[in-house]
Amino acid sequence: EDQKEDLGRKLSKKRPREAPNYFVAIPITDDQILDRIEDVQELIFSKEPDLSRALLPVQTMHLTIIVAHLGTEEEVKKAVLALKQSKTKVEDILQGKDLNLTFHGIGEFNNQVLYVKMLEEDQKMLNRIAEAVEQCFIEMNLDISGSKDFKPHLTFLKLSKASRLRRR
């Protein structure tokens, strides 16, 4: 019985994961995509003005590839190196083509986040890219534990940005 208690204490003393403070992302710059997102945001705002603070600015639209906790300048330098090393792997995945993604539909996470969905084959491509970048970060022994269960998505509304509304 005492051994079980000791084991329980040891397990609970596991170091808590550091919150991510850096991320690698692909910026979304296509005007057509951004205009459609803005249209949806305006429609949401017209129906629910209280949600205005939850809407993310279209000029910040991006697809997060990985999140990392980099605690030192040395780790930041290693991350830069990991990114440079991932370039070749990503180019191999793209095989000389541009990364063109098709977005359609809206999804949600836990009634907290609204995002634009993408075609499944594009999602698979993005997953392969994310895995290649992840691998380079792991090889550099960097903390990307916050990146688990990657699901590519383009967030345009986040209730955490309007904390008053989250309690509703």
Q: For 97-147, what is each residue's pLDDT tens digit?
A: 999 999 999 999 999 999 999 999 999 999 999 999 999 999 999 999 887
% pLDDT > 90, the chain: 76
Residue 7 maps to a domain: no
Residue 55 maps to a domain: yes
Q: Which of 125, 58, 121 is nearest to 90 (CA)?
A: 125
Beta carbons within 10 angstroms of residue 161's beta carbon: 14
Query: What residue numbers bound the domain in which 97 lies?
Result: 17-160
Q: How far apart are CA 38 and CA 32, in angstroms?
A: 10
pLDDT for the residue numbered 148: 76
Q: Is the pLDDT at 7 greater than 80, yes or no?
A: no
Give Rg (Cα) of the chain.
19
Q: 135 and 89 in contact (C-beta within 8 Å)?
A: yes
Q: For 34-88, what is each residue's pLDDT tens digit?
A: 999 999 999 999 999 999 999 999 999 999 999 999 999 999 999 999 999 999 9
% pLDDT > 70, the chain: 87
Domain containing residue 123: CATH number:
3.90.1140.10
Q: How confident is the model at residue 10 (pLDDT cuts 50, 70, 90)?
A: very low
Residue 125 maps to a domain: yes
Q: 133 and 142 in contact (C-beta within 8 Å)?
A: no
Q: Which distant-in-sequence residues (6+ apart) come within 8 Å of 167 by Cβ?
A: none
CA–CA–CA angle 75, 80, 81 (5° rounding): 95
Q: How far apart are CA 168 and CA 150, in angstroms?
A: 28
Residue 42 maps to a domain: yes
Residue 72 maps to a domain: yes
